[in-house]
C-alpha cells in the first residue's frame, strides 16, 4: 500500500533542501546566542557558543544545564539551548510549561524552584527562543553582555538575566544569584577573554 501521490523527482529536491533545513535548525539554536554591532567604526561580535579557555563549548554546559542554589532557591538554566537532564533532574510541582512531570526542566531554558508550603514549586523563567542580548556597559563594549531569557505566561511574567562579564584574570562559572523583582532573577558569570 502506498500513501501519497507519485513524485518521481522527490529525492533530488530533498537532497537540495536538506542543507537548508539543517542550517536553519543549527541557526535557530546557536543564532540566538550572538550579538553583533558597530560602534565608533569598530565591529563587535559576541558569540556565547564559541569555545574559550576552560569552556570548550562556550557557555553551553557539558552536562546540559547549570544549577545554582542560594538560600533555599534552586535555579537551573542553559543559555542558547533547552536543558537536558541525564542526572539530577528537577523534582518539583507545577512544571507543566517546562516539560511536565516526567520531563521537568527539559522544555525550557531556565527554571527556578522555591519552597512553598514545604514543597518545591517550579516556575519557568525563560526559553532560548525568547532570549535577548544587550551590552552591560554601552560606553565599554568589551565589558560583556547580558542575556535575558523571559517567560510571559498566563500566571506570571518571569525572567532570568545572565550577565557574562569579560575578564582577563580567570574564569568563574555562574555566581551571585539575586531576586530583582517578583519573578525576575539576575546572575553574574565571569569569562576569560
d(CA 37, CA 108): 28
Is pLDDT at 17 greater than 70 in this prediction? no
In 13-118, beta strands by DSSP E:
34-39, 42-47, 66-70, 73-77, 110-116
d(CA 16, CA 10): 10
User: What DSSP character marks residue 170?
Assistant: -
Closest CA to 180 of 163, 193, 155: 163
Half-sphere exposure of 177 (CA within 13 A, CB side): 18
C-beta of residue 166 within 8 angstroms of C-beta of residue 143: yes
User: What DSSP character marks residue 131?
Assistant: -
Strand partners, 106: none
pLDDT tens per residue across span 74-96: 999 998 888 999 888 898 888 88
Structural domains of the chain in order of their starting residue, each with its CATH number: 42-192 (2.70.130.10)
> What confidence tier does 19 reach under pLDDT thresholds 50, 70, 90?
very low
What confidence score (pLDDT) does residue 122 get?
92
d(CA 193, CA 39): 19
d(CA 130, CA 30): 13
Is pLDDT at 126 greater than 90 in this prediction? yes
Residue 149 has which C-alpha cell? Answer: 531569557
d(CA 186, CA 150): 12
> What confidence tier does 192 reach under pLDDT thresholds 50, 70, 90?
low
Amino acid at each position: 500500500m502506498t500513501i501519497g501521490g507519485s513524485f518521481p523527482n522527490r529525492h533530488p529536491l530533498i537532497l537540495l533542501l536538506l542543507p537548508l533545513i539543517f542550517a536553519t535548525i543549527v541557526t535557530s539554536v546557536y543564532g540566538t546566542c550572538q550579538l553583533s554591532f558597530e560602534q565608533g567604526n569598530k565591529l563587535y561580535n559576541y558569540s556565547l557558543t564559541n569555545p574559550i579557555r576552560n569552556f570548550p563549548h562556550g557557555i553551553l554546559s557539558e552536562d546540559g544545564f547549570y544549577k545554582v542554589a542560594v538560600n533555599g532557591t534552586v535555579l537551573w538554566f542553559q543559555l542558547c539551548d533547552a536543558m537536558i537532564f541525564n542526572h539530577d533532574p528537577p523534582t518539583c510541582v507545577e512544571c507543566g510549561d517546562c516539560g511536565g512531570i516526567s520531563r521537568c526542566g527539559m522544555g525550557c531554558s531556565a527554571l527556578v524552584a522555591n519552597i512553598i508550603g514545604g514543597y518545591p514549586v517550579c516556575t519557568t523563567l525563560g526559553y532560548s527562543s525568547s532570549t535577548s542580548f544587550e551590552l552591560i556597559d554601552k560606553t565599554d563594549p568589551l565589558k560583556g553582555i547580558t542575556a535575558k531569557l523571559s517567560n510571559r505566561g498566563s500566571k506570571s511574567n518571569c525572567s532570568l538575566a545572565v550577565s557574562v562579564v569579560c575578564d582577563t584574570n580567570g574564569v568563574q562559572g555562574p555566581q551571585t544569584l539575586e531576586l530583582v523583582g517578583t519573578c525576575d532573577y539576575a546572575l553574574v558569570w565571569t569569562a576569560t577573554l
